[in-house]
Chains A and B, each alone.
Chain A
Amino acid sequence: MKKGLIALMALCLLVGGAMAAMADTVKIGLMGPMTGPWASEGQEMKQVLDLLAADLNAKGGVLGKKVEVIADDDGGDPRTAALAAQRLATQGIVAVIGTYGSSVTEATQNIYNESKILQIANGSTAIRLSEKGLKYFFRTCPRDDEQGRVAVQAIEKLGFKTVAILHDNTTYAKGLADEAKGLLEGKGIKIVFFDALTPGERDYTAILTKLKGANPDVVFFTGYYPEAGLLLRQKKEMNWNVPFIGGDATNNPDLVKIAGKDAAQGFYFLSAPLPKDLPSPEAKAFLDEFTKKYGNAPNSIYAVLAGDGFRVITAAIQATQSTDPDKLADYLHKELKEFAGLTGKIAFNEKGDRVGEVYRVYKVDAEGNFILQP
């Protein structure tokens, strides 16, 4: 019996070893919110990466090997994310794409950095993520100081004199709110309200009643689209006609569905260009292919930014002919210039931040479409 067991184990080892040799692939991790409140973002990230990986493999992969995407779920929650990062870090991945929320990314940065795994975040715009001197951290999305600057510019341009700022205490929303507050005060625009709501609730009338009491010209909400949609809807029910401006996390078509077209009309938000406004031929081809495969165009720009992360890292592996993290990081920091991404030209500075790309201002029209403002 014992002998039989040993023989069986030996067989397992042999077969296992053979399998490992056969399945020699370049592994790219994907950490995204597959479940939880942002699950629609994460699932679209996975769709984009699956599509891009299939395309790349059809053309022969990289370094003569197939690319394998290993996805794990961060649940949109820092604690779940830390566990996901530890799991991913043991699976021999070269790089990880993700994730969406800044506080979620922050919980995983050190895990990846210590394991020498390149991390390319796609939606985490909080400033301090790239101020820690982490060598292997990159992001394809812009930063909140840039976003804050554009927000303040828009508020000035629209002629608002008193501003209420509402955030939700997440790393991202608080960071953007603080950034905007400092800049607005510097311009002599008065902040009449500055506070945070609790995300995930349904009833924000208490907050809106209080906001109304402060009587601002405009409300700048720096949180995410589920809450923004509810705020707009309940504001409309209160018969209060103050304009709202949202940060780039309010950029999701579900915002209009939640708020209703009449309540969403006139809502301004900041964003990197939406998938439909992407100018490059690469983007057009990609959007067509995505629509063909999944039946609809991608809803979220962050899913497309995750795709850019994937394209950048596979291009770097091909260019350096290596999966060595130091070589790849050096290449991305220094040599990658004018890379034709889906969302425009991509290059990284020494902090791993994306350079160049700027935010746009969008406005929701009566039909619920997002219209790029000049």
Chain B
Amino acid sequence: MEEFFQQLTNGLAVGGIYALIALGYTMVYGVLKLINFAHGDLFTIGSYLGLTLLTSLFLSDRLGPGAGIVVLALMVMGLVALVGALLERVAYRPLRHSPRLSAVVSALGASIFFSNTLMLIYGARFQVYPQGILPKTAIDLFGLYVPLVRVLILGASVVMMIALYAFIQKTKIGTAIRAAAIDQDAARLMGIDVNRVILMVFLIGPALGGAAGLMVGLHYGQINFTMGWVYGLKAFTAAILGGIGNIPGAMVGGILLGVIEALGAAYLSIAWKDAIAFGVLIFILIVRPTGLLGERVAEKV
């Protein structure tokens, strides 16, 4: 039983990161019906920017570890959001009225461009975050050994997700995003500036992806320019699992995928971990073709 809970916490921490990245996929898909394959690389850019800022500005020395990391996270999120907006402007907006396949190819191209640019700037070797920025203490939870960092990661992910959900549900811009997701033309007729909505989506999604990148860097320490691919693929799966285009779905899908992976590795086979995760995905798609929470997409089609 102890091992079960240990694995559950392992899975939750991984799932929180998947969920944060999945939000970027699902928001873009919701509004543009485009799978932004470059999103995983925006995540990687976040972790590289985090490393550069961390080592060049000495934030944690100047502001103390807690405030330093918060400021660092805000800076990374802001910069990655800018990159995301630029990506939309350069790679997607000119193709908005082209066939959908063109935009997908453009997304794949952007992904390759980003990862190779990172390689040329930072080199092909693994980059490593300095040690000892985060506290190494662990919490003793009823005999369960949980490193504090994992709790913080999950906590930060959940806070950001709830903030995003509130933003989408309660604010005027959020309402505009939802309207544009349902029907762009009707939204435009209602006086919504759809271009601004899309820009907004490309600011928020990458910002969350960048935050996830920073968290991965801070916690796991090791980053390299190809890591966006695996995380992107998993997050994309999570978005589909939860119902792509649906924001709570991405959160549920991400966390569920992390937990399935951890428990699958623990009780079935480590080598079959991904096969189990994707098997569950296929099963859910057979039973519920729109994903767990993906009803709205079905209504539309």
Contact = CB atoms under 8 A, between A and B. Distances in A.
B103 interface: no
Interface string B1-19: 0010011001101100000
A209 B270 contact: no
Contact of B10 (A195, A205, A260): A205
Contact of A254 (B6, B125, B138, B230): B125
A254 B222 CA distance: 10
A258 B220 CA distance: 9
A196 B271 contact: yes
B124 A203 contact: no
B126 A209 contact: no
Contacts of B13: 203, 205
The 6 closest A-B pairs by CB, nearest first: A39-B124, A196-B271, A40-B125, A206-B262, A206-B265, A202-B220
A237 B138 CA distance: 9
B145 A238 contact: yes
A197 B226 contact: no
Interface of B: 3, 6-7, 10-11, 13-14, 116, 119, 123-126, 128, 131, 136, 138, 145, 147, 216, 220-222, 224, 226-227, 229-231, 261-262, 265-266, 269-271, 273-274
30 contacts: A35-B124, A39-B119, A39-B124, A39-B125, A42-B124, A195-B270, A195-B271, A198-B274, A200-B230, A201-B230, A202-B227, A205-B13, A206-B11, A206-B262, A206-B266, A206-B273, A207-B270, A210-B3, A210-B265, A210-B266, A213-B3, A226-B222, A226-B224, A229-B126, A229-B222, A230-B222, A233-B222, A238-B145, A257-B128, A258-B222
A36 B226 contact: yes
Given A203-B13, A213-B3, 8 more contacts: A35-B119, A195-B269, A196-B271, A206-B10, A206-B262, A207-B265, A229-B222, A239-B145
A258 B265 contact: no
A318 B131 CA distance: 51
B130 to A, nearest CB: 10
A43 B225 CA distance: 15
A37 interface: yes
A324 B124 CA distance: 37
Interface residues of A, number: 35
Contacts of A213: 3
A230 B220 contact: yes
Most buried by B among A42, A196, A205, A239: A205
Contacts of A258: 126, 128, 221-222
A257 B128 CA distance: 7
B136 A237 contact: yes
B138 to A, nearest CB: 7
Contacts of B273: 198, 206
A209 B6 contact: yes
A170 to B, nearest CB: 12
A230 B14 CA distance: 15
Nearest to A195: B270
Contact of B271 (A40, A169, A237, A239): A169
Contacts of A234: 220
Contact of A209 (B10, B269, B271): B10
A230 B224 CA distance: 13
Given A35-B119, A195-B271, A229-B222, A237 B265 contact: no
A363 B265 CA distance: 30
B261 A206 contact: yes
A42 B231 CA distance: 24
Contacts of B123: 40
Contact of A202 (B222, B270, B274): B222
Most buried by A among B10, B116, B274: B10
Contacts of A37: 224, 226
Interface string A25-63: 000000000111101101100000000000000000000
Contacts of B11: 206
A35 B270 contact: no
Interface in A292-348: none
Contacts of B136: 237
A254 B124 CA distance: 12
Nearest to B150: A205
Contact of B220 (A39, A203, A238): A203
A203 B231 CA distance: 11
A203 B128 contact: no
Contacts of B6: 209
A206 B7 contact: yes
A237 B147 contact: yes
Interface string A195-238: 11110111101110110010000000000001001100110011
Contacts of B226: 36-37, 200
A172 to B, nearest CB: 16
Nearest to A256: B128
Contacts of B10: 203, 205-206, 209
Contacts of A201: 230
Contacts of A198: 271, 273-274
A207 to B, nearest CB: 5
Contacts of A169: 271
